Structure 1
Amino acid sequence: MTRPRVAVSTCLLGEPVRFNGGHSRSRFLTGPLAPYVDWVPICPEVELGLGTPRETLRLETSPSGPRLMTRASRNDLTEAMSALAGERAATLDADGYVFKAKSPTCGIHGIPLYPPQGPPIDRRNRGLFAESIIRAHPLLAVEDEGRLNDALLREAFVERIFAHARLRELLDGDWRPRDLVAFHARHKMQILAHDPDLYRRAGRIVADAGTLARTELAAAYAQTFRQALSKRASLGRNVNVLQHCLGMLDLDPVRRDDLLTLVESYRVGLVPLSVPATLLRHHAHGQNAAYVREQSYLSPYPDALRLRHHLPPDPPIAASPVRHRADPSCSSPTSG
């Protein structure tokens, strides 16, 4: 499986680069995820030459926007940090980025903004460095280590970085239009689970693979693919995809009913997604159903990460019969 390249705040890997000389080692990043990714460690404060340990920073109000200030000596680091962020953004080659939470440089949620005197007046900001990176790469998969403690957010982030890595590997190579068609065929169910409209748009782009210029084709498909993966896969769309895949298998009535029951159990929150997805993959192998078996949706990242074992949030209370409606556009590897 392709190894994602993931930028990460250096302190999260256990390096003692925090303002107090310590670190903020993330157990998930340095434990389960580490064997499967290539890290790109970044600490903008150290790169700026602030040293470790160092004076603490904060964001402050000004007529020209937030300023990055040292708390005691009152040095304004805004221009220097913005320049560094611009350089890093211009050369960043990564499939995702995990930022340090609550940092005035790297935080991506809830960073306080202070007036020159007094308590914070706004806690809805991003760190100065992180804001520049995200503005330059709006479809980059980004999270902070705190939010990765949430099972849903952790799974969504990991799914995106592996999907981005597979696309990067394709487009960085000597690919031809037929290779993009094959890539799209393997990812159709995964895209559909995230955004049906973008799924159809991606299909139209691939249908024009033989007529568009290579660079135009790559840019259009990459934009649509990454945009689709940035949308959260909902419970309803997961059920829809499971039903589509089931409809492509020629199962006997008993096995089909077993799978339908598990899909419904997932829909009402009784079992995690891993249960029907694993059985579906098992039947696809047994049947030698290559199109279903090769769908990235069934194996979006290494199984050892165990990320689909959580129950869906807020499932519907009332159950309804599961019915499969075949979608002609999903019936073959080459269709849009």
Structure 2
Amino acid sequence: MQKDTIKIGISACLAGEKVRFDSGHKKSNFCMEELAKHVEYKMYCPEVAVGLPIPRPTIRQVRTADTIKVCRPDGTGDVGPQLTEYGKKIATEQAGHLSGFVFCAKSPSCGMERVKIYNEAGTGNTSEGIGFFAEQIMKHNPLLPCEENGRLNDVHLRENFVMRVYTLHNWQQLVKEPVTVHRLTQFHAQYKYLLMAHNYQAYRDLGNLLGTFVGDDVNALADEYILGLMNALRRPASRKNNSNTLMHLQGYFKRDLSKIEKEEMRDAIDEYRQGLVPLYVPLTLLKHHLKVHPNEYLSKQIYFNPYPNELKLRYGL
């Protein structure tokens, strides 16, 4: 079955659209110059969508008693309810169609976290808010990988976001056809070492979940599995966990490699563990041995190629 194009939601200003309050944009070079070669974007500007003009007065979150408004600095023009409803609408319409979302940081509509909430007098604020639109997208799509433009400058968070996008997309392709325990087990087998690198306990728990399943409600099993998988992958893999995973993978070649080749492999993993070389160095060596000594099980491991190599995401890890 041919895979569909990966679709990612994005704040329109990050795509270069001049929709900000000042008629400007905040184009993300990574999203639009690099990742755009591999995905298709669906652009959203919730503020324009609820009727605000371009240009427009700035809006911000303001706490009034027990409620939070999204309004002008003088307290007028609250569009909080409209932003919430628009967020619910898009979240419902795009459920299962989007494989990720990139939000504009600090925005009262699109910020994922640390959005400023001002007091009524405008004399102080706290950075504890969530954008009204972003909150609905995340609330109604708990599996959806979401990230902010600023955080994507961090090489570990960038790699982790893209990896989760591709993981969810692979899952979305799987569930287009009726799910069976066998198909779930095959899917899990491909993710074994990626899971091991991110969360060893989840790797064991999810394997046990599938291996001990008894009953007829396979769809409920699938829902529990993918929620566990996506949650387990949220934290970037540590050098220690990656190193342990690489050692496990090296074990498959113990009968094929010469003494010198084994030492070379161990040295590459140790140098990565110590932070002397990036992850792609021992990975490249392992891929070389896999080509020379083919192994059908290993060749299917997502850990080796979780996303297109052209993105060069592991060069800085």
Q: TM-score scaled by structure 1? A: 0.87
Q: Which moved more, 1:112-121 or 1:276-285?
A: 112-121
Contact kept in structure 1, 2:73 and 2:122, CA below 8 Å: no
1:74 aligns with 2:76: yes
Contact 2:147 2:161 in 1 (8 A): yes
Shift of 1:120: 3.0
Residue 122 of structure 1 aligns with an amino acid whose one-letter code is T
**Cα deviation 1:181-224 (Å, max 9, x = unaligned):** 21111110001111111111210222246744221221121111
Q: For 1:1-336, what aligned pairs fall within 5 Å after superposition?
A: 3-72=5-74, 74-93=76-95, 94-208=98-212, 211-249=215-253, 250=255, 251-311=257-317
Kept in 1, the 8 Å contact 2:179–2:222? The answer is no
Structure-2 separation of matches of 1:139 and 1:178: 22
Which segment is superposed worse, 211-220 or 31-40?
A: 211-220
| Amino acid paired to 1:284 | L
Answer with 127-136 or 4-13: which moved more. 127-136
- One-letter amino acid matched to 2:296: A
| Contact 1:48 1:84 (C-alpha < 8 Å) held by counterparts | yes
Gaps of 5+ in 2: none
Secondary structure at the aligned position of 1:31 is classed as helix
Amino acid at match of 1:91: E
| Number of aligned positions between the proteins | 311
The alignment's TM-score, normalised by the length of structure 2, stands at 0.92
> What is the letter of the counterpart of residue 288 of structure 1?
P
Q: Deviations over 1:18-75 (max 9, x none)?
A: 1111221111111110011121211111111112222210000122232111235711
**Structure-2 separation of matches of 1:207 and 1:310:** 36
Higher mean displacement: 172-181 or 96-105: 172-181
SS in 2 for 1:66: strand
Gaps of 5+ in 1: 312-336
Letter of the structure 2 residue corresponding to residue 304 of structure 1: E
CA distance in 2 between counterparts of 1:2 and 1:159 reads 17
Distance 1:4 1:210 in 2: 34
Q: Name the Cα RMSD after superposition.
A: 1.8
- Alpha carbons 2:160, 2:236 under 8 Å: kept: yes
Q: 2:77 corresponds to which letter in structure 1?
A: N
C-alpha displacement of 1:113: 1.0
Question: Identical aligned pairs, as a percentage?
Answer: 34
Query: How far did 1:89 drift?
Result: 2.2
Structure 1's 3 and 228: CA in aligned 2 closer, same or farther, altered over 3 A?
farther
